[in-house]
């Protein structure tokens, strides 16, 4: 019976087998293409609200802490985007530097942080008052080097002092700022009453 069926319909059964195998092969190719496309699109694979990441130095002291209202991870380039990030950079026993922005981006190796939009950089006294602040935009931070820079206009304020400049470099570990160009300032001097 099977022999007769194969003799009469062998060609048709062979064609049916070829069609089924071709369809399966095309489906598998399409699935692989969709997977590859998913990896190439810049869409987050996970997110976290109220994100906090801390890094310690080799002695166990806090090196820096990064917080954000929202963190989104992207698998295509292993980058991270941040909403309302706040970076705290620590120096030995001194008060930390704070760097806050509207948005942020972290490289795959976590060695570069781009803070986008309005950026505030400040340090507080032990009593919690701001002793120093920088108001600017679009800051590039190298957290492991405790370094930050911007090419944008900036306002630098300290007690009784205000400077305006275009471009600022900050070495947090040295508590040092460099104002790059178009620097102008105002300093209030109080005369001693005699």
Residue 60 shares a structural domain with residue 149: yes
Residue 82 shares a structural domain with residue 157: yes
Q: Give residue 1's pLDDT.
A: 60
Residue 80 shares a structural domain with residue 133: yes
CATH number of the domain where residue 146 is located? 2.60.450.10
Domain count, the chain: 2
Q: Is 141:123 a contact under the CB 8 Å cutoff?
A: no
Residue 121 shares a structural domain with residue 150: yes
Is 107 domain-assigned? yes
**CA–CA gap between residue 70 and residue 82 (Å, rounded):** 6
Residue 157 shares a structural domain with residue 68: yes
Residue 79 shares a structural domain with residue 173: yes
Q: Give residue 88's pLDDT.
A: 92
Q: Give residue 133's pLDDT.
A: 94
Residue 171 shares a structural domain with residue 81: yes
Is 70 domain-assigned? yes
Q: Give residue 56's pLDDT.
A: 87
Is 194 domain-assigned? no
- Name residue, tokens 């930390």: 96
Is 72 domain-assigned? yes
**CA–CA gap between residue 134 and residue 137 (Å, rounded):** 10
Is 60 domain-assigned? yes
Give the Cα-Cα-Cα angle 46, 52, 54 (nearest 5 degrees).
120
Is 167 domain-assigned? yes
Torsion of CA 173, 124, 100, 57, to 10 degrees: 40
Residue 177 shares a structural domain with residue 139: yes
Residue 150 shares a structural domain with residue 77: yes
User: Which residues, in sequence order, are CB contacts of 53 under 8 Å at separation 6+?
Assistant: 65, 66, 67
Is 193 domain-assigned? no
Residue 26 shares a structural domain with residue 50: no
**CA–CA gap between residue 134 and residue 95 (Å, rounded):** 16
Q: CA-CA distances (angstroms) from residue 39 to 35, 44, 74?
A: 6, 10, 9
Note the Cα 150 to chain centre separation in Å.
Answer: 16
Residue 54 shares a structural domain with residue 17: no
CA Rg, the chain, in Å? Answer: 29
Is 17 domain-assigned? yes
**Domain ranges, residue 170:** 46-187
Residue 126 shares a structural domain with residue 91: yes
Tens-digit pLDDT profile for the chain (194 aa)? 656 655 666 666 666 666 666 767 767 776 666 666 555 677 888 889 999 999 888 888 888 899 999 999 999 889 999 999 999 998 877 889 999 999 999 999 989 999 999 999 999 888 888 888 999 999 999 988 989 999 999 999 988 889 999 999 999 888 888 999 999 988 877 666 55
């Amino acid at each position: 019976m099977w022999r007769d069926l194969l003799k009469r319909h062998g060609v048709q059964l062979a064609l049916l087998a070829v069609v089924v195998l071709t369809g399966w092969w095309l489906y598998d190719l399409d699935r692989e293409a969709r997977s590859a496309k998913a990896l190439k699109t810049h869409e987050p694979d996970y997110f976290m609200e109220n994100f906090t990441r801390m890094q310690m130095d080799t002695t166990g002291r806090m090196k820096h802490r990064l917080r954000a209202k929202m963190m989104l991870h992207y698998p295509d380039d292993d980058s991270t985007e941040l909403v309302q990030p706040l970076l705290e950079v620590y120096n030995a026993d001194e008060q930390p530097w704070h760097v806050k922005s509207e948005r942020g981006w972290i490289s795959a190796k976590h060695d570069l942080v781009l803070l986008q939009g309005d950026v505030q950089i400040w340090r507080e006294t032990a009593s919690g008052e701001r002793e120093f602040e920088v108001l600017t935009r679009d800051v590039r931070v190298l957290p492991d080097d405790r370094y930050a820079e911007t090419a944008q206009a900036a306002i630098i304020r300290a007690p009784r002092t205000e400077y305006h400049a275009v471009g600022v470099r900050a070495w947090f570990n040295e508590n040092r700022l460099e104002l790059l160009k178009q620097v102008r300032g105002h300093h209030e001097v109080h005369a001693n009453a005699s």
